[in-house]
């Protein structure tokens, strides 16, 4: 346990609002309305830390709704440690329901949270997270404002079952879509079977879930911003009430120790996250959000860094969609600490990185070996030898990610089968300009989609969709599925759900809507994908490519839907590409705001 110098009650940020005799009128205005529901004057003025609890639950966000009860335990812990809890709402974000995409709300929630944290009398912060963009929004804001903070993360559901078959949330949807398209099930059975994957409170029970909830909650633990061993405890387990209480007591200690998010989310911690992401088989959304957190922390991290640090790391978590089990087994096998223990023993982590419990990451991992090597593999005997992301480049884009841990045997046999080059394939493309275009046309026989076709989705990025939609994981037409061909290579400038097991080439930057090369692609063009070289090349001459670019410019550029809300227009005007974290360009220069001069008086 590190020894931190203690601050005094006079140094609490909240004293500027609640005990400031130099501005007695403003102080009285700040205090008086809080007393009308039972808070005492002594609580606000006697030097107790004011702890904000950012509540992400609501009826609109069912994955986070159990935070209603967990926050009660966190409040009890805060009071027991001598703090005063203040609960406030977070902008709702529900991945499955929010249209046109929940990714639009990540930056909106971030902005809202930054203003609350800076403008209100908070000394410390408990961030409740879960589905899905709530986690990066919270961590981005924590880095920007830099108030002592700890994350009470969302938790996975219990395992889903269909008879004796494990049913992973999200993952089963993609499987059932194929069966529906092939005529093997009807609409009613589709909905019934999909419901089997959601048997209890909590969020997705797969790894790399739909934004990736387990991925980001795991990354939060790796970054050191949540208590060790807490990331994947199933939501109904009694341990969560205990963890919430401990978080309440610990945040008060963190305030007195003056340990801030930027003391924890360092370059070492972020590099640990990249390495752990590969071993966990985490979502392709994780680089987007980790890069965004890094940028708000003032640390440059790009997709080249993800490949350099993470590509050669093996897959150790045998959890869907890359594996066979679900999060209940993963938790019982040791969870995130068991994965990190394998990586630390192999010398792949910065063990000195500080965590919110006051200990180093290495200290937290002592005695945390895997309890079931079928679920959490040993480093020397992994599921996949190289499981990280490849950062692909070429004449269509400067960066696009491929999640190598989900390259299946079937995919290798059908596409990576050239004895002269087992890491390359080529194919004719069929291009779709939106998810609506795909849904309307995928079964049109005039497209002549065969077993070697590459499906391309464009207009799906942060500007084009807008927000960066999870629509790149496209299934083949029903005619091919009936022949047993259940997947085709996919590529696009949008994202895909972390529950998907497709090794798509996605997050292409720049996107078509901002001048990226995918806008120049035409159906029946041929692409060469070379994983060894890290390249995707459109197989046409440079002169033809430039002629297409000129024609597109004369037509006014790539066309995408007009703004439908004020926020869409605002975000589109300042959003950065997926490879840079999809951050708001003006926002990343602000950090450590809580230690700068206090906000100006309001009266």
pLDDT tens readout for residues 184-223: 999 999 898 888 888 888 888 876 543 345 678 899 999 9
In this structure, are 490 and 549 located in the same domain? yes
In this structure, are 119 and 140 located in the same domain? yes
In this structure, are 304 and 351 located in the same domain? yes
Confidence class of residue 484 from pLDDT cuts 50, 70 and 90?
very high
Phi and psi for 494 in degrees, rounded to 5? -105, -165
Task: Give tens-digit pLDDT for 8-18.
Answer: 999 999 999 99
Look at residue 257 and tell me if it is in a domain. yes
Look at residue 379 and tell me if it is in a domain. no
Question: Angle at CA 471, nearest 5°, toward 324 and 142?
Answer: 80
In this structure, are 458 and 345 located in the same domain? no
Look at residue 126 and tell me if it is in a domain. yes
Q: Where are the alpha helices (DSSP H) in 446-537?
A: 478-482
Confidence class of residue 120 from pLDDT cuts 50, 70 and 90?
very high
Distance spanning both ends of the chain, measured CA to CA: 44
Q: How far apart are alpha carbons 307 and 295 in whole angstroms?
A: 18
Find the CATH number of the domain harbouring 531: 3.50.30.80
- Mean pLDDT score, 278-284: 89
Alpha-carbon torsion (410, 411, 417, 422), positive or negative:
negative
Look at residue 595 and tell me if it is in a domain. no
Please name the helix (run of DSSP H) or strand (run of DSSP E) that holds residue 531, with its range, or none. Answer: none
In this structure, are 292 and 208 located in the same domain? yes
pLDDT on residue 260: 98
Task: Give tens-digit pLDDT for 311-358.
Answer: 999 999 998 877 889 999 999 999 999 999 999 999 999 999 999 999
pLDDT on residue 173: 85
In this structure, are 543 and 429 located in the same domain? yes
Q: Is 4 exposed, middle or buried (0-12, 13-18, 19+ CB in 10 A)?
A: middle
Question: In this model, does residue 171 exceed pLDDT 90?
Answer: no
Question: In this model, does residue 365 exceed pLDDT 50?
Answer: yes
In this structure, are 262 and 343 located in the same domain? yes
Task: Give tens-digit pLDDT for 23-75.
Answer: 899 999 999 999 998 999 999 999 999 999 999 999 999 888 889 999 999 99
- Mean pLDDT score, 278-295: 93
Question: In this model, does residue 165 exceed pLDDT 90?
Answer: no
Contact 319, 207 (CB under 8 A): yes
Q: Are strands 160-162 and 165-167 parallel, antiparallel or unpaired?
A: antiparallel
Q: How far apart are alpha carbons 126 and 150 in whole angstroms?
A: 5
Domain total in the chain: 3
Q: How far apart are alpha carbons 223 and 241 in whole angstroms?
A: 22
Positions of E strands within 349-423: 389-394, 399-403
* Number of Cβ within a 10 Å radius of residue 545: 15
Q: How far apart are alpha carbons 205 and 168 in whole angstroms?
A: 6
Look at residue 528 and tell me if it is in a domain. yes
* Number of Cβ within a 10 Å radius of residue 168: 28
In this structure, are 291 and 148 located in the same domain? yes
Cα→Cα distances 405→93, 206, 313, 546, Å: 28, 15, 10, 36
Q: Which two tokens stand for residue 511?
A: 């996107």
Q: How far apart are alpha carbons 219 and 226 in whole angstroms?
A: 9
Q: Which two tokens stand for residue 67?
A: 């935070």
pLDDT on residue 500: 65
Specify the higher pLDDT residue, 174 or 87: 87
pLDDT on residue 209: 41
pLDDT on residue 482: 93
In this structure, are 482 and 354 located in the same domain? no
Question: In this model, does residue 132 exceed pLDDT 80?
Answer: no
Q: Which of 364, 399, 424 is the last residue of a domain?
A: 364
Task: Give tens-digit pLDDT for 494-519.
Answer: 998 765 667 899 999 999 999 999 99
Look at residue 97 and tell me if it is in a domain. yes
Look at residue 388 and tell me if it is in a domain. no
pLDDT on residue 207: 67
pLDDT on residue 175: 84
Question: Angle at CA 323, nearest 5°, toward 532 and 499?
Answer: 85
pLDDT on residue 501: 65
Confidence class of residue 452 from pLDDT cuts 50, 70 and 90?
very high
Look at residue 391 and tell me if it is in a domain. no
Q: Which domain holds residue 44?
A: 9-159+199-364
Task: Give tens-digit pLDDT for 233-271.
Answer: 999 999 999 999 999 999 999 999 999 999 999 999 999
- Mean pLDDT score, 128-141: 91
pLDDT on residue 174: 79
In this structure, are 284 and 430 located in the same domain? no
Q: How far apart are alpha carbons 488 and 472 in whole angstroms?
A: 11
Q: Which of 335, 364, 393 is the last residue of a domain?
A: 364
Determine the angle formed by the axes of helices 566-574 and 103-119, rounding to 10 degrees: 90
Contact 190, 180 (CB under 8 A): yes
In this structure, are 130 and 275 located in the same domain? yes
Tell me the pLDDT of the chain averaged across its residues: 93
Q: Which residues contact 439 (CB under 8 A, 6 or more apart)?
A: none
In this structure, are 347 and 437 located in the same domain? no
Percent of the chain with pLDDT over 90: 79
Phi and psi for 114 in degrees, rounded to 5? -60, -45
Question: In this model, does residue 160 exceed pLDDT 60?
Answer: yes
Question: In this model, does residue 421 exceed pLDDT 70?
Answer: yes
């Amino acid at each position: 346990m590190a020894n931190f110098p203690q601050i005094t009650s006079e140094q609490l940020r909240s004293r500027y609002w609640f005990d400031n005799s130099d501005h007695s009128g403003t102080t009285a205005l700040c205090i008086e309305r809080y007393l009308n529901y039972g808070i005492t004057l002594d609580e606000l003025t006697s030097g107790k830390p004011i702890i904000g609890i950012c509540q992400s639950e609501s009826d609109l966000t069912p994955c986070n709704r159990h935070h209603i009860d967990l926050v009660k335990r966190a409040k009890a812990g805060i009071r027991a440690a001598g703090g005063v809890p203040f609960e406030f709402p977070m902008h709702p974000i529900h991945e499955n329901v929010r249209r046109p995409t929940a990714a639009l709300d990540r930056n909106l929630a971030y902005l809202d949270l930054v203003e609350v944290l800076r403008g209100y009398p908070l000394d410390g912060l408990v961030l409740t997270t879960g589905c899905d963009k709530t986690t990066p929004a919270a961590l981005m804001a924590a880095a920007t404002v830099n108030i002592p903070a700890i994350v009470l993360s969302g938790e996975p559901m219990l395992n889903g079952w269909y008879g004796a078959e494990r049913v992973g949330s999200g993952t089963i949807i993609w499987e059932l879509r194929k069966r529906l398209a092939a005529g093997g099930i009807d609409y009613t059975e589709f909905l019934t079977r999909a419901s089997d994957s959601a048997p209890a409170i909590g969020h997705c029970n797969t790894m790399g879930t739909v934004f990736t909830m387990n991925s980001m909650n795991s990354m939060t633990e790796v970054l050191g911003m949540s208590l060790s061993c807490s990331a994947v405890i199933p939501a109904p387990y009694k341990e969560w009430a205990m963890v919430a209480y401990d978080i309440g007591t610990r945040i008060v200690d963190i305030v007195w120790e003056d340990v801030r998010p930027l003391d924890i989310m360092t370059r070492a911690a972020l590099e640990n996250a990249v390495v752990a992401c590969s071993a966990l088989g985490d979502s392709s959304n994780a680089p987007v959000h980790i890069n965004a957190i890094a940028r708000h922390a003032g640390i440059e991290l790009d997709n080249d860094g993800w490949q350099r640090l993470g590509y050669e790391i093996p897959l150790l978590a045998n959890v869907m969609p890359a594996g066979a089990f679900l999060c209940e087994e993963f938790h019982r096998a040791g969870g995130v600490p068991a994965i990190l223990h394998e990586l630390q023993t192999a010398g792949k982590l910065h063990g000195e990185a500080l965590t919110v419990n006051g200990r180093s990451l290495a200290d937290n991992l002592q005695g945390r070996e895997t309890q079931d090597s079928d679920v959490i593999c040993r480093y020397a005997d992994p599921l996949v030898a190289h499981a990280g992301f490849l950062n692909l480049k070429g004449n269509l884009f400067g960066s696009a990610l491929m999640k190598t841990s989900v390259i299946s045997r079937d995919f290798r046999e059908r596409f990576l089968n050239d004895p002269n080059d087992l890491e390359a394939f080529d194919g004719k493309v069929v291009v779709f300009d939106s998810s609506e275009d795909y849904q309307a046309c995928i079964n049109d026989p005039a497209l002549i989609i065969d077993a070697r076709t590459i499906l391309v989705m464009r207009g799906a990025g942060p500007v084009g969709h807008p927000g960066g939609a999870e629509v790149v994981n496209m299934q083949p037409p029903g005619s091919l599925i009936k022949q047993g061909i259940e997947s085709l290579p996919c590529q696009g400038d949008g994202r895909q759900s972390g529950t998907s097991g497709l090794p798509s080439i996605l997050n292409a930057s720049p996107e078509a809507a901002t001048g990226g090369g995918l806008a120049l692609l035409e159906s029946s063009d041929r692409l060469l994908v070379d994983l060894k070289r890290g390249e995707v090349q459109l197989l046409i001459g440079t002169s033809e490519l430039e002629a297409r670019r000129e024609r597109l410019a004369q037509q006014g550029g790539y066309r995408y839907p007009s703004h439908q809300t004020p926020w869409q227009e605002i975000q589109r005007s300042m959003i950065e590409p997926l490879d840079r974290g999809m951050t708001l360009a003006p926002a990343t220069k602000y950090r450590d705001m809580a230690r700068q001069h206090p906000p100006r008086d309001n009266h």
